[in-house]
Amino acid sequence: MVVCQNCGHEGEYVYCPNCGHAFDIARITLTHIFTEVAHTFWHLEKGVLYTIKELAIKPGIVQKKYLAVARKKYQKPFSLFTVSGTICALSLYLIYKNAPNGTDQHFYKHYYFLVQTCMLPLYALITYLLFMSPRLNYAEVLVMNVYMLAFMSLAIVPINCLSFFLPNGIISLLEIIFLLGYNIWTFLNFFSDRHKLSTIIKTTISIILCYLLFQFTSRLVMEWFM
């Protein structure tokens, strides 16, 4: 009989029948740590890259599949959002690190993704109210928006890299065109059972409201912290 070091239960199995903890615990070694880190990184990388690829070519459909049954093959929405946000925030910081204080570029460097994160629940609320349906709750709409914003946060990085070669006005125009197109594409796929024209109109209204909300909040942040 072996005593479980976790709960004190006695047994003769590989794992404790009381708490599930392994009876025989090997010592931590560098090999063990390397294996665990490599396994974690590979699992995360595989899920993230696959989900990003699917969001790039099947926006809206990914969210529908995740909300239905196919959840194991996709990276979880909030963990993907965390990874995307980290990449986005770091990239924007490096791109605009020489931007003068008080400019939009300086705001992008420090606060863009933070403001977007804070606004995310309100973005989802706007979508929920515009596309209200008894078959769709707020949490599901939030997941859809999290996936969408996660991909868009990555996609704006190469667009902003063009700021080294193009004027800021062109960069802003490219962002607006991309965000408008990607939002409409996502919503048409996600709400594929709705009338397309109605979906496009509601999506456009949603984008305008979210954009105005973001601009208003951004100005407040710039006045308070810059």
- What's the per-residue H, E or C state across the chain? CEECCCCCCEECCCECCCCCCECCCCCCCHHHHHHHHHHHHHHHHHHHHHHHHHHHHCCCHHHHHHHHCCCCCCCCHHHHHHHHHHHHHHHHHHHCCCCCCCCHHHHHHHCHHHHHHHHHHHHHHHHHHHCCECCECHHHHHHHHHHHHHHHHHHHHHHHHHHHCCCHHHHHHHHHHHHHHHHHHHHHHHCCCCCHHHHHHHHHHHHHHHHHHHHHHHHHHHHHHC
Spatial neighbors of 165 by CB under 8 A, at least 6 apart, are none
CA distance 88 to 108: 10
Are residues 106 and 215 part of one domain?
yes
pLDDT at residue 35, rounded to an integer: 62
Low-confidence ranges of the chain (pLDDT < 70): 1-9, 11-15, 17-46, 70, 99-110, 221-223, 225-226
Are residues 108 and 91 part of one domain?
yes
CA distance 157 to 88: 6
Total structural domains within the chain: 2
Domain boundary, last residue among 10, 32, 57: 57
Give the torsion sign (CA, 153, 175, 211, 135).
Answer: negative
Structure token pair of residue 192: 């594929």
Are residues 74 and 39 part of one domain?
no
CA distance 92 to 85: 10
Which residue in 54, 60, 64 sits closest to 184, CA to CA?
60
Are residues 83 and 50 part of one domain?
no
Are residues 184 and 173 part of one domain?
yes
Domain boundary, last residue among 57, 85, 104: 57
Are residues 63 and 17 part of one domain?
no
Give the torsion sign (CA, 143, 67, 151, 169).
Answer: negative
Are residues 128 and 214 part of one domain?
yes
Enclosing domain of residue 136: 59-225
Are residues 127 and 97 part of one domain?
yes
Are residues 42 and 140 part of one domain?
no
Which residue in 123, 137, 219 sits closest to 179, CA to CA?
123
pLDDT at residue 212, rounded to an integer: 87
Are residues 67 and 169 part of one domain?
yes
